[in-house]
């Protein structure tokens, strides 16, 4: 799963760089507004790529891993409804 997110991130960032280079190296010779539009699209890609790369899937079980502190883990298990509260 991590490899897929990483490949998608690098593909998006490669597209971003390609858009910038093509916009100001080639497209601006014919149309500056189109080149600016390409840069606006390229500007949106990096934040989206970061969100894609850092997204966790349902099979990524990072939120309920034990912390190592038995008292804290017991407390969180009670809050999550995994164990009955101590009485």
The phi, psi pair for 40, rounded to 5°, reads -65, -40
Do residues 81 and 66 share a domain? yes
Q: What does the block give as tokens for 31?
A: 């149309």
Q: Which of these, 59, 66, 69, 60, lies nearest to 82 by C-alpha position?
A: 66
Do residues 72 and 43 share a domain? no
Q: What's the rounded Cα separation, in Å, for the pair 54 and 68?
A: 24
Residue whose entry in the numeric block shows the structure tokens 């038995």:
70
Do residues 16 and 41 share a domain? yes
Do residues 37 and 72 share a domain? no
Q: How many domains does the chain have?
A: 2
Do residues 25 and 44 share a domain? yes
- Comparing 4-13, 14-23, 49-58, which segment has the lowest mean pLDDT? 49-58
Do residues 8 and 22 share a domain? yes
**For 11-29, what is the mean pLDDT?**
95
Mean pLDDT for the chain? 84
**For 53-61, what is the mean pLDDT?**
70
C-alpha separations of 9 from 2, 19, 33, 42, 44 in Å: 11, 15, 27, 14, 13
- Domain of residue 69, residue span: 61-87
Do residues 28 and 48 share a domain? yes
The predicted pLDDT at position 59 comes to 59
Do residues 50 and 65 share a domain? no
Do residues 10 and 50 share a domain? yes
DSSP annotation of 65: S
Residue of 78 and 44 predicted with greater confidence = 44
The predicted pLDDT at position 39 comes to 95
In 1-87, where do the E strands start and end? none
């Amino acid at each position: 799963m991590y490899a897929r997110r990483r490949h998608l991130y690098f593909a998006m960032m490669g597209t971003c760089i390609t858009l910038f280079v093509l916009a100001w190296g080639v497209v601006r010779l014919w149309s500056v507004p189109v080149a600016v539009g390409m840069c606006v699209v390229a500007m949106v890609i990096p934040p989206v790529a970061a969100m894609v790369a850092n997204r966790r899937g349902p099979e990524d079980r990072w939120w309920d891993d034990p912390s190592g502190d038995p008292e804290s883990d017991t407390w969180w298990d009670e809050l999550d409804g995994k164990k009955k509260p101590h009485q």
